[in-house]
Structure 1
Amino acid sequence: MNITVKQLRAFVAVAKTRSFTEGCALVHLSQPALSVAIKNLEEELGGSLLARTTRTLSLTPEGEAFYPTAQRLLADLDEAVDEMHNRFALFRGKVAIASMPSFASNQLPLALRDFRNKYPQINMMVHDVIAEDVVDMVRSGRVEVGVSFDPGDTEDLLFNPLFDDRFIAVLPEKHPLINQEVIQWQQLLQYDFIILQRPSSVRLLVDQMLEQEGLALSPQFETHQLATIGRMVATGLGVSVVPSLCFGQMTELGAVCRPLEAPVITRQVGVITRRRYPLSTAAKELVDVLLTTY
């Protein structure tokens, strides 16, 4: 079956006006073109929809039955077209982003504010999950955009770097190391240590880098949340290390941050998307906002 939108519009126009002349005006077709469109529709359906006489034009019983269906089909099509126009114009829609908590709770709100100011009709869903889950959510298509550490060479993902993040020491107030401008790992490891649990990528990176330097990490406390680390350090339970993008959060929680070296541990933070899947218009704009903000 090969029914066209033109044929449906022609039939609905004539059925509504009960006049070929008025129907032509509604759909901007000549009378011959209108007649051909309805004739082709009737042939596709297998029977007459209109009962024509020299003086009157009415619908056959089949035409009466088909009329509301044709109206509904055209209304659904028009609504779908309007929806797509709105989405492409960013007047409507939604976009989901996954971000590791350290970025989600510190830097991401600024980018979301800028995006919201530009596109107030776009709804956003933020998933603040560990770095590994960010990659998995983008890879599986559950979100279009992710912000996390560089996942390395992958065939199915694209990584656009935002900045290099350096790990910093986190200390309680009045700690013996507080007056040092830069702290060395060897010094920090002498105190009770608080760190994220495995399989956190932060923990794995720290373990790997310290092993290369011949240093051993024996934490007294392990947790899943960076906010918990900040509060525990501020309470005086120990010291810790976090990505520098957590500086503001740690300070708000009452801890003190210092640069950390020997070794200096850095890792790229960036935007992750799927390589072979085009982004929606809203997601493209969100990526642009992220790349220009940082």
Structure 2
Amino acid sequence: MNVNLRQVRAFVAVYRLGSVTRAAQQLNLTQAAVSLLLRQFEETLGVRLFDRTTRRLTPTQAALDALPVAQEVLDGVERLVNGARGMREKRLGRFGFAASTSAAAALMAPMLQRFRERYPEVEAVMQDRPPERIVEAVLMDEVEFAIGTPDRRTAAVELTPLIQDRLCVICRADSPLAQRRHLRWRELKEVPTISGSRRNPIRAVIDETLAESGQHFVPTHEADYVATSLAMTLQGLGVSVLPSYLVGPQHRRDLAAVPLVGPAVPRTLYAVVKRGHQLSPAAQAFVELLVGGVARPAAGLARAGGAGAGPVGVSPQADARWNTEATKAIHNPSTSR
């Protein structure tokens, strides 16, 4: 059977309008073309759809039976076209993505809200995953993309930088350390510190980078969950060693971030996409929103002493020079080694 949409449209138009002439006008075709399409449709179905007289066309019972199905076909095609257009214009659609648990907690809620306001008919479904599982979720096609910092590189995925940060001392805003422009790793021996265990990806980067300069870091407390680390810092039990972007908005008035140098340890947050996969228009729009919306590390962390939000998450004496020096170091960490 070789039925095409032009034949179905011709049949429905002739049925609705009761005339080949009017159907031809509506379809912007000649009468001969409509008559041919109708005849081909009847031949394909093997039934007569209209009884023809010199004055009018009368639908047969076969036409009565065929009309609802034919109309459903046309309606389905229209829904398909409109849906595709809506997805292309990012007015409709659904996509899933994964985010590492720490990035999800610190960054994703306001970004999801902003995306919903901009694209109310698009459904963005987030799964928070342990950082070591975000690449797996992408490669297994469980999600379109992921947000995080892969603990190892693979040619099977493509990485788009979202935040180029570095490790900082996260301390209470009223701590004397918050007055510092930066801190060196060797100075951390003088204060209680909180960092992940050796299986933690951030701790692994710390150990590897410091080993290159002959240094060693042993935290006072080990906490693999960022929420635990920050809670301990807020209670005055020690300073956390984290990228500043992992300080969520609920803590940014109470904490300050002081960049660590000698060496600086970069920590970049990426959008992770399976190589060769083209993101759906809605997913691409969300990634573009992330690129523009989370590009400044931990914007809004408090100044020391509760003096108000600084331009980025650093202590007050660092505020004046952060944008010219610390940001330069973030994008080129070798300058602060």
**TM-score interval, normalised by the smaller of the two chains:** 0.7 to 0.9
Within 1, Cα distance between the matches of 2:64 and 2:179? 88
Partner residue of 2:196? 196
* Larger deviation, residues 68-77 vs 142-151: 142-151
- Equivalent pair of 1:106/1:249 in contact (CA under 8 Å): yes
Q: Quick one: which amino acid aligns to residue 161 of structure 2?
A: P
Within 2, Cα distance between the matches of 1:200 and 1:127? 20
Map 1:104-253 → 2, pairs under 5 A = 104-108=104-108, 115-116=115-116, 118-149=118-149, 153-172=153-172, 180-189=180-189, 191-197=191-197, 199-212=199-212, 213-217=214-218, 219-224=220-225, 226-247=226-247, 249=249, 251-252=251-252
CA 1:72–1:198: 2 relative to 1, 3 Å: farther
Within 1, Cα distance between the matches of 2:250 and 2:83? 44
- For residue 77 of structure 1, report the CA deviation from its aligned partner: 0.8
Within 1, Cα distance between the matches of 2:117 and 2:189? 45
Q: Does 1:7 align with 2:7?
A: yes
Q: Quick one: which amino acid aligns to residue 220 of structure 1?
A: H
Within 2, Cα distance between the matches of 1:250 and 1:201? 24
RMSD over aligned Cα, in angstroms?
Answer: 3.1
* Larger deviation, residues 68-77 vs 251-260: 251-260
Partner residue of 1:278? 278
Q: Quick one: which amino acid aligns to residue 217 of structure 1?
A: V
CA 1:273–1:15: 2 relative to 1, 3 Å: same
Q: Quick one: which amino acid aligns to residue 52 of structure 2?
A: R
Partner residue of 2:26? 26
CA 1:197–1:2: 2 relative to 1, 3 Å: farther
Partner residue of 2:89? 89
Within 2, Cα distance between the matches of 1:61 and 1:208? 80
What is the percent sequence identity of the aligned residues?
28
Q: Quick one: which amino acid aligns to residue 132 of structure 2?
A: E
- For residue 170 of structure 1, report the CA deviation from its aligned partner: 2.6
TM-score by length of 2: 0.73
Within 2, Cα distance between the matches of 1:103 and 1:218? 22
- For residue 109 of structure 1, report the CA deviation from its aligned partner: 5.6
* Larger deviation, residues 207-216 vs 240-249: 207-216
Within 2, Cα distance between the matches of 1:197 and 1:51? 84
Within 1, Cα distance between the matches of 2:250 and 2:201? 19
Within 2, Cα distance between the matches of 1:105 and 1:239? 20
Within 1, Cα distance between the matches of 2:18 and 2:250? 74
CA 1:255–1:23: 2 relative to 1, 3 Å: closer
Within 1, Cα distance between the matches of 2:173 and 2:253? 11
CA 1:3–1:270: 2 relative to 1, 3 Å: same
- For residue 102 of structure 1, report the CA deviation from its aligned partner: 4.3
* Larger deviation, residues 228-237 vs 178-187: 178-187
- For residue 3 of structure 1, report the CA deviation from its aligned partner: 1.0
Alignment gaps of 5+ in structure 1: none
Partner residue of 1:51? 51
2:223 is paired with a residue whose SS is: strand
Within 1, Cα distance between the matches of 2:19 and 2:215? 91
Within 1, Cα distance between the matches of 2:122 and 2:116? 7
- For residue 12 of structure 1, report the CA deviation from its aligned partner: 1.1
- Equivalent pair of 1:150/1:159 in contact (CA under 8 Å): no
Within 1, Cα distance between the matches of 2:169 and 2:257? 6
Alignment gaps of 5+ in structure 2: 296-337
CA 1:99–1:198: 2 relative to 1, 3 Å: farther
* Larger deviation, residues 252-261 vs 64-73: 252-261
* Larger deviation, residues 94-103 vs 38-47: 94-103
Within 1, Cα distance between the matches of 2:169 and 2:178? 10
CA 1:93–1:198: 2 relative to 1, 3 Å: farther
The C-alpha deviation readout for 1:229-250, integer Å capped at 9, x for no partner, is: 1111211333321112135658
TM-score by length of 1: 0.83
